[in-house]
Protein backbone atom coordinates (compact mmCIF):
# COMPACT_ATOMS: atom_id res chain seq x y z
CA UNK A 1 0.00 0.00 0.00
CA UNK A 2 1.47 3.28 -1.06
CA UNK A 3 0.83 5.79 1.70
CA UNK A 4 1.61 8.76 -0.51
CA UNK A 5 -1.41 7.90 -2.66
CA UNK A 6 -3.55 8.60 0.40
CA UNK A 7 -1.91 11.88 1.13
CA UNK A 8 -4.38 14.71 0.96
CA UNK A 9 -3.56 18.36 0.68
CA UNK A 10 -3.70 20.21 3.99
CA UNK A 11 -6.88 22.03 3.14
CA UNK A 12 -8.86 18.97 2.01
CA UNK A 13 -11.86 18.10 4.15
CA UNK A 14 -10.82 15.39 6.60
CA UNK A 15 -14.11 13.56 6.04
CA UNK A 16 -12.68 11.89 2.91
CA UNK A 17 -11.44 8.90 4.85
CA UNK A 18 -14.13 6.75 6.36
CA UNK A 19 -13.98 5.71 10.02
CA UNK A 20 -12.68 2.17 10.18
CA UNK A 21 -10.55 2.58 7.06
CA UNK A 22 -7.39 0.91 8.28
CA UNK A 23 -5.21 1.41 5.23
CA UNK A 24 -3.20 4.12 6.97
CA UNK A 25 -2.11 1.94 9.88
CA UNK A 26 1.59 1.85 10.32
CA UNK A 27 2.68 -1.76 10.65
CA UNK A 28 6.11 -0.83 11.93
CA UNK A 29 4.44 0.23 15.16
CA UNK A 30 1.69 -2.37 15.41
CA UNK A 31 4.08 -5.28 15.09
CA UNK A 32 5.63 -4.71 18.49
CA UNK A 33 2.29 -4.57 20.32
CA UNK A 34 0.74 -7.93 19.60
CA UNK A 35 -1.61 -9.55 22.07
CA UNK A 36 -0.08 -11.79 24.63
CA UNK A 37 -1.09 -15.42 24.12
CA UNK A 38 0.87 -17.19 26.86
CA UNK A 39 -0.85 -19.12 29.64
CA UNK A 40 -1.09 -17.91 33.21
CA UNK A 41 1.51 -20.44 34.41
CA UNK A 42 3.93 -19.38 31.67
CA UNK A 43 3.52 -15.74 32.58
CA UNK A 44 3.99 -16.50 36.29
CA UNK A 45 7.14 -18.49 35.53
CA UNK A 46 8.44 -15.65 33.41
CA UNK A 47 7.88 -13.18 36.24
CA UNK A 48 9.96 -15.40 38.52
CA UNK A 49 12.77 -15.50 35.94
CA UNK A 50 12.63 -11.75 35.40
CA UNK A 51 12.92 -11.19 39.15
CA UNK A 52 15.84 -13.59 39.39
CA UNK A 53 17.56 -11.64 36.63
CA UNK A 54 16.87 -8.33 38.40
CA UNK A 55 18.13 -9.73 41.71
CA UNK A 56 21.41 -10.84 40.09
CA UNK A 57 21.86 -7.43 38.47
CA UNK A 58 21.18 -5.66 41.76
CA UNK A 59 23.69 -7.83 43.63
CA UNK A 60 26.19 -7.20 40.82
CA UNK A 61 26.09 -3.43 41.33
CA UNK A 62 26.12 -3.66 45.12
CA UNK A 63 22.40 -2.93 45.67
CA UNK A 64 22.04 -5.76 48.16
CA UNK A 65 19.05 -4.31 49.97
CA UNK A 66 17.14 -3.91 46.72
CA UNK A 67 18.04 -7.47 45.71
CA UNK A 68 16.72 -8.77 49.02
CA UNK A 69 13.44 -6.87 48.63
CA UNK A 70 12.85 -8.15 45.09
CA UNK A 71 13.56 -11.69 46.25
CA UNK A 72 11.10 -11.49 49.14
CA UNK A 73 8.37 -9.79 47.09
CA UNK A 74 5.54 -12.22 46.25
CA UNK A 75 7.68 -15.16 47.39
CA UNK A 76 4.94 -16.55 49.64
CA UNK A 77 1.28 -16.16 48.85
CA UNK A 78 -2.08 -16.63 50.46
CA UNK A 79 -4.37 -17.84 47.69
CA UNK A 80 -8.13 -17.89 47.89
CA UNK A 81 -9.45 -20.51 45.51
CA UNK A 82 -12.35 -22.83 44.77
CA UNK A 83 -9.84 -25.33 43.35
CA UNK A 84 -10.53 -24.34 39.76
CA UNK A 85 -10.38 -20.57 39.88
CA UNK A 86 -8.22 -18.18 41.81
CA UNK A 87 -10.28 -15.45 43.39
CA UNK A 88 -7.58 -13.58 45.26
CA UNK A 89 -3.82 -13.69 45.76
CA UNK A 90 -2.37 -11.91 48.77
CA UNK A 91 1.43 -11.61 48.78
CA UNK A 92 3.50 -11.74 51.97
CA UNK A 93 5.45 -8.67 50.90
CA UNK A 94 5.56 -6.22 47.99
CA UNK A 95 8.84 -4.52 47.06
CA UNK A 96 7.21 -1.67 45.08
CA UNK A 97 10.27 -1.51 42.83
CA UNK A 98 9.27 -0.02 39.49
CA UNK A 99 10.76 -2.83 37.44
CA UNK A 100 9.27 -5.63 39.55
CA UNK A 101 6.80 -7.48 37.32
CA UNK A 102 4.60 -8.55 40.25
CA UNK A 103 4.35 -5.03 41.66
CA UNK A 104 3.84 -3.75 38.11
CA UNK A 105 0.77 -5.93 37.71
CA UNK A 106 -0.67 -4.59 40.94
CA UNK A 107 0.02 -1.04 39.82
CA UNK A 108 -1.59 -1.59 36.46
CA UNK A 109 -4.68 -3.14 38.10
CA UNK A 110 -4.98 -0.12 40.38
CA UNK A 111 -4.80 2.22 37.39
CA UNK A 112 -7.49 0.24 35.58
CA UNK A 113 -9.77 0.25 38.61
CA UNK A 114 -9.29 3.97 39.02
CA UNK A 115 -9.58 5.17 35.42
CA UNK A 116 -12.07 2.80 33.80
CA UNK A 117 -15.12 4.24 35.62
CA UNK A 118 -13.93 7.77 34.76
CA UNK A 119 -13.43 6.88 31.10
CA UNK A 120 -16.87 5.28 30.92
CA UNK A 121 -18.46 8.33 32.53
CA UNK A 122 -16.52 10.70 30.22
CA UNK A 123 -17.74 8.76 27.18
CA UNK A 124 -21.32 8.95 28.43
CA UNK A 125 -21.11 12.71 28.93
CA UNK A 126 -19.30 13.72 25.74
CA UNK A 127 -19.66 13.07 22.04
CA UNK A 128 -16.20 11.60 21.57
CA UNK A 129 -14.73 8.32 20.33
CA UNK A 130 -11.69 6.76 22.02
CA UNK A 131 -8.62 5.98 19.92
CA UNK A 132 -5.26 4.43 20.76
CA UNK A 133 -2.52 6.66 19.38
CA UNK A 134 1.14 5.65 19.46
CA UNK A 135 3.68 8.44 18.99
CA UNK A 136 7.30 7.56 18.32
CA UNK A 137 10.48 9.53 17.88
CA UNK A 138 13.74 9.05 15.99
CA UNK A 139 16.53 7.20 17.81
CA UNK A 140 19.37 9.31 19.15
CA UNK A 141 22.36 8.75 21.36
CA UNK A 142 20.92 9.97 24.67
CA UNK A 143 20.02 8.77 28.16
CA UNK A 144 16.66 7.28 29.02
CA UNK A 145 15.82 10.47 30.88
CA UNK A 146 16.64 12.65 27.86
CA UNK A 147 14.68 10.36 25.57
CA UNK A 148 11.60 10.49 27.76
CA UNK A 149 11.83 14.26 28.23
CA UNK A 150 12.17 14.78 24.47
CA UNK A 151 8.99 12.88 23.64
CA UNK A 152 6.98 14.35 26.52
CA UNK A 153 8.01 17.90 25.58
CA UNK A 154 6.96 17.26 21.98
CA UNK A 155 3.59 15.99 23.18
CA UNK A 156 3.06 19.12 25.28
CA UNK A 157 3.75 21.23 22.16
CA UNK A 158 1.35 19.10 20.13
CA UNK A 159 -1.43 19.72 22.64
CA UNK A 160 -1.01 23.48 22.26
CA UNK A 161 -1.65 23.37 18.51
CA UNK A 162 -4.96 24.31 16.95
CA UNK A 163 -5.20 20.97 15.15
CA UNK A 164 -5.00 18.98 18.37
CA UNK A 165 -7.50 21.18 20.16
CA UNK A 166 -9.92 20.84 17.28
CA UNK A 167 -9.83 17.05 17.18
CA UNK A 168 -9.05 15.84 20.71
CA UNK A 169 -10.79 16.35 24.01
CA UNK A 170 -8.07 15.04 26.32
CA UNK A 171 -7.16 11.51 27.38
CA UNK A 172 -4.36 9.57 29.05
CA UNK A 173 -0.73 9.00 28.15
CA UNK A 174 1.75 6.33 29.16
CA UNK A 175 5.40 5.83 28.36
CA UNK A 176 6.95 2.73 26.89
CA UNK A 177 10.71 2.20 26.77
CA UNK A 178 12.55 -0.21 24.54
CA UNK A 179 16.11 -0.40 23.30
CA UNK A 180 17.17 -1.34 19.81
CA UNK A 181 19.99 -3.72 18.98
CA UNK A 182 22.46 -0.82 18.89
CA UNK A 183 21.55 0.06 22.46
CA UNK A 184 19.66 3.23 21.53
CA UNK A 185 16.64 4.14 23.60
CA UNK A 186 13.38 3.90 21.80
CA UNK A 187 10.61 5.69 23.68
CA UNK A 188 6.95 5.59 22.67
CA UNK A 189 3.96 7.45 23.99
CA UNK A 190 0.75 5.45 24.14
CA UNK A 191 -2.22 7.75 24.20
CA UNK A 192 -5.88 7.04 24.73
CA UNK A 193 -7.28 10.09 23.01
CA UNK A 194 -10.93 11.11 23.06
CA UNK A 195 -11.44 12.14 19.47
CA UNK A 196 -14.10 14.73 18.75
CA UNK A 197 -14.39 13.89 15.05
CA UNK A 198 -12.65 11.99 12.31
CA UNK A 199 -9.54 13.41 10.59
CA UNK A 200 -6.98 12.40 8.02
CA UNK A 201 -4.06 10.63 9.69
CA UNK A 202 -1.62 12.35 7.34
CA UNK A 203 -2.53 15.70 8.90
CA UNK A 204 -1.61 14.35 12.34
CA UNK A 205 1.64 13.02 10.92
CA UNK A 206 2.46 16.53 9.67
CA UNK A 207 1.64 17.98 13.09
CA UNK A 208 3.87 15.47 14.88
CA UNK A 209 6.68 16.19 12.43
CA UNK A 210 6.23 19.92 13.05
CA UNK A 211 6.69 19.60 16.83
CA UNK A 212 9.44 16.95 16.83
CA UNK A 213 11.37 18.28 13.83
CA UNK A 214 12.22 14.79 12.58
CA UNK A 215 9.59 12.19 13.59
CA UNK A 216 6.52 11.22 11.66
CA UNK A 217 6.00 7.57 12.62
CA UNK A 218 2.77 7.11 14.50
CA UNK A 219 -0.12 4.74 14.66
CA UNK A 220 -3.79 5.30 15.36
CA UNK A 221 -6.53 2.77 15.83
CA UNK A 222 -10.09 3.14 17.07
CA UNK A 223 -10.89 1.55 20.44
CA UNK A 224 -14.15 -0.40 20.41
CA UNK A 225 -13.91 -1.70 23.99
CA UNK A 226 -12.62 0.92 26.41
CA UNK A 227 -11.77 -1.65 29.12
CA UNK A 228 -9.53 -3.55 26.68
CA UNK A 229 -8.05 -0.28 25.38
CA UNK A 230 -7.12 0.84 28.88
CA UNK A 231 -5.71 -2.59 29.75
CA UNK A 232 -3.51 -2.37 26.67
CA UNK A 233 -1.96 1.00 27.56
CA UNK A 234 -1.44 0.33 31.28
CA UNK A 235 0.46 -2.79 30.25
CA UNK A 236 3.40 -0.51 29.46
CA UNK A 237 3.25 0.95 32.94
CA UNK A 238 3.43 -2.50 34.50
CA UNK A 239 6.17 -3.63 32.16
CA UNK A 240 8.10 -0.50 31.26
CA UNK A 241 10.79 -2.25 29.26
CA UNK A 242 12.27 -5.50 28.13
CA UNK A 243 14.14 -6.57 31.25
CA UNK A 244 15.75 -9.52 29.50
CA UNK A 245 17.92 -7.04 27.59
CA UNK A 246 18.61 -5.11 30.75
CA UNK A 247 22.22 -5.00 31.93
CA UNK A 248 23.97 -3.72 35.06
CA UNK A 249 24.48 -0.27 33.48
CA UNK A 250 20.79 -0.03 32.64
CA UNK A 251 19.83 -0.80 36.21
CA UNK A 252 22.29 1.78 37.52
CA UNK A 253 20.83 4.37 35.14
CA UNK A 254 17.28 3.40 36.04
CA UNK A 255 17.92 3.79 39.76
CA UNK A 256 18.93 7.41 39.17
CA UNK A 257 15.51 8.22 37.71
CA UNK A 258 13.65 7.97 40.97
CA UNK A 259 10.32 9.55 40.22
CA UNK A 260 9.76 9.48 36.50
CA UNK A 261 6.06 9.57 35.72
CA UNK A 262 4.93 6.77 33.45
CA UNK A 263 1.23 7.54 33.20
CA UNK A 264 -0.90 10.67 33.26
CA UNK A 265 -4.04 12.39 32.04
CA UNK A 266 -4.31 15.50 29.89
CA UNK A 267 -6.77 18.04 28.52
CA UNK A 268 -10.42 18.04 29.41
CA UNK A 269 -10.27 14.46 30.62
CA UNK A 270 -7.79 15.53 33.26
CA UNK A 271 -10.17 18.17 34.61
CA UNK A 272 -13.02 15.67 34.45
CA UNK A 273 -11.05 13.20 36.60
CA UNK A 274 -10.36 15.87 39.22
CA UNK A 275 -14.05 16.54 39.67
CA UNK A 276 -15.20 12.93 39.36
CA UNK A 277 -17.39 11.47 42.08
CA UNK A 278 -17.19 7.66 42.04
CA UNK A 279 -20.65 7.31 43.55
CA UNK A 280 -22.04 9.10 40.48
CA UNK A 281 -22.00 5.87 38.49
CA UNK A 282 -24.89 4.42 36.59
CA UNK A 283 -23.07 1.35 35.26
CA UNK A 284 -21.91 -1.73 37.12
CA UNK A 285 -18.21 -1.42 36.34
CA UNK A 286 -17.09 -3.52 39.29
CA UNK A 287 -18.36 -6.73 37.72
CA UNK A 288 -15.95 -6.33 34.83
CA UNK A 289 -12.92 -5.54 36.91
CA UNK A 290 -10.38 -8.07 37.94
CA UNK A 291 -11.69 -10.29 40.73
CA UNK A 292 -8.31 -10.13 42.44
CA UNK A 293 -9.05 -6.67 43.72
CA UNK A 294 -12.23 -7.56 45.58
CA UNK A 295 -12.40 -8.35 49.26
CA UNK A 296 -13.22 -12.00 49.73
CA UNK A 297 -12.73 -14.42 52.63
CA UNK A 298 -12.74 -18.18 53.10
CA UNK A 299 -16.25 -19.59 52.64
CA UNK A 300 -17.36 -16.86 50.20
CA UNK A 301 -18.71 -18.02 46.83
CA UNK A 302 -16.21 -18.14 43.96
CA UNK A 303 -17.06 -15.19 41.65
CA UNK A 304 -16.71 -17.50 38.61
CA UNK A 305 -18.49 -20.73 39.67
CA UNK A 306 -20.03 -20.01 43.11
CA UNK A 307 -18.24 -22.98 44.76
CA UNK A 308 -16.97 -22.17 48.27
CA UNK A 309 -13.53 -20.61 48.48
CA UNK A 310 -10.75 -21.94 50.69
CA UNK A 311 -7.28 -20.67 51.55
CA UNK A 312 -3.97 -22.10 50.37
CA UNK A 313 -0.52 -20.97 51.44
CA UNK A 314 1.81 -21.33 48.48
CA UNK A 315 5.35 -20.42 47.54
CA UNK A 316 5.86 -18.62 44.20
CA UNK A 317 6.88 -21.94 42.58
CA UNK A 318 3.87 -23.74 44.10
CA UNK A 319 1.68 -21.09 42.50
CA UNK A 320 3.11 -21.85 39.05
CA UNK A 321 2.39 -25.58 39.58
CA UNK A 322 -1.10 -24.73 40.81
CA UNK A 323 -1.77 -22.73 37.63
CA UNK A 324 -0.44 -25.63 35.56
CA UNK A 325 -2.81 -28.01 37.36
CA UNK A 326 -5.77 -25.78 36.58
CA UNK A 327 -4.70 -25.43 32.94
CA UNK A 328 -4.26 -29.17 32.42
CA UNK A 329 -7.43 -30.37 34.14
CA UNK A 330 -10.52 -30.77 31.95
CA UNK A 331 -13.40 -28.37 32.64
CA UNK A 332 -15.50 -29.59 35.54
CA UNK A 333 -12.64 -31.30 37.35
CA UNK A 334 -10.93 -29.76 40.31
CA UNK A 335 -7.35 -28.76 39.55
CA UNK A 336 -5.76 -29.37 42.94
CA UNK A 337 -3.69 -32.43 43.60
ZN1 LIG B 1 7.72 -6.40 43.82
ZN1 LIG C 1 -14.58 -21.21 40.91
pLDDT the model gives residue 235: 83
| For residues 82-97, average pLDDT | 92
In the chain, % of residues over pLDDT 70: 80
pLDDT at 37: 76
| Residue 305 pLDDT exceeds 90 | yes
**Confidence at residue 142, expressed as pLDDT on a 0 to 100 scale:** 87
Q: Which pLDDT belongs to residue 161? A: 97
With 50 as the cut, is the pLDDT of residue 331 above it?
Answer: yes
Structure confidence at residue 206 (pLDDT): 96
Mean pLDDT of 169-184: 85
Protein residues placing their CB within 5 Å of the ion ligand 1: 73, 95, 100, 102-103
CA of 133 to the centre of ligand 2 (A): 37
Q: Indicate whether 257 pLDDT > 70.
A: yes
pTM: 0.76
Q: Calculate how far, in angstroms, residue 305's C-alpha sits from the geometric centre of ligand 2.
A: 4
Q: pLDDT per residue over 218-247, tens digit each? A: 999 999 999 999 999 988 777 656 777 788
Which numbered ligand comes closest to the C-alpha of 316? 1
Flag whether pLDDT at 28 surpasses 60.
Answer: no
- When pLDDT is averaged across residues 195-218 and rounded to a whole number, the result is 94
Average pLDDT over residues 28-45: 67
Closest-CA residue to 186 (of 132, 229, 144): 144
From ligand 2's centre to the CA of 7, what distance in Å? 53
Which of these, 116, 107, 106, lies nearest to 276 by C-alpha position? 116
pLDDT value at position 18?
37
- pLDDT at position 144 is 81
Q: What pLDDT does residue 171 have?
A: 97
Q: Is 76's pLDDT higher than 50? A: yes
Q: What is the pLDDT of residues 110-148, one digit of tens each?
A: 999 999 999 999 999 999 999 999 999 998 888 888 898
Higher-confidence position of 333 and 248: 248
What is the residue-averaged pLDDT of the chain?
A: 83
pLDDT at 128: 96
Q: What pLDDT does residue 116 have?
A: 95
For residue 300, which ligand has an atom nearest its CA?
Answer: 2
* Cα of 16 from ligand 1 centre, angstroms: 49
pLDDT in tens, 264-299: 999 999 999 998 887 665 544 444 444 444 578 888
When pLDDT is averaged across residues 86-105 and rounded to a whole number, the result is: 91
Q: Tell me the pLDDT band of 98, cut-offs 50, 70 and 90.
A: confident
Q: What is the pLDDT of residue 13?
A: 36
Distance CA 119, CA 273 (A): 9
Amino acid sequence: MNLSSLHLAKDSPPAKLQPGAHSYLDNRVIKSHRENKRTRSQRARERIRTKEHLTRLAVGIGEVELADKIERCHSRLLVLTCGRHIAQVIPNFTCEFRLCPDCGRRRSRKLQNKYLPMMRAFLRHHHVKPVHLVLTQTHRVETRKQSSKRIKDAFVKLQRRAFWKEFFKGGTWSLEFTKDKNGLHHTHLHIIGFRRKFFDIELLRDEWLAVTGDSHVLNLKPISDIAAGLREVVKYVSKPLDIRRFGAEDLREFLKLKNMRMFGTFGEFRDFCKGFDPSDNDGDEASELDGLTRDLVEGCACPKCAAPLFELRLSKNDLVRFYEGIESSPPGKVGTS
